[in-house]
Amino acid sequence: QKEVEQNSGPLSVPEGAIASLNCTYSDRGSQSFFWYRQYSGKSPELIMFIYSNGDKEDGRFTAQLNKASQYVSLLIRDSQPSDSATYLCAVNADSSYKLIFGSGTRLLVRP
């Protein structure tokens, strides 16, 4: 059974700090990795994707991928209260278009 694991949290950080969200996956064949943000009562919103080992930066967000360790992370710099949400890690399964989602990490940014 392909799995994607996330710490459910909540992860609480002060405003302006760096929030670090982590995700591990079991399928070594996975090629595509996505981070979605989901506000309460809303649908998931794609915020980052990464395909290659290393770091990918987009504004305040940095995705990090280590395929050897089967680990992907999301860093949020200068965290804002508006970043408070559940962050879902998703990984493609069987090298296909199917996505397997982790259970999500709830982030709380304290003003």
Q: Residues 61-100 vs another protein: string with x where CB under 8 A?
A: ---------------------------x-x-x----xxxx
CB nearer to another protein: pick between 79 and 87: 87
Residue type, position 55, single letter: D
Task: Pick the closest to residue 6 from 84, 62, 73 (CA basis).
Answer: 73
* Beta-carbon-side half-sphere exposure of residue 3 (alpha carbons within 13 Å): 5
Residues that bind another protein (CB under 8 A): 32, 34, 36, 42-46, 49, 88, 90, 92, 97-104
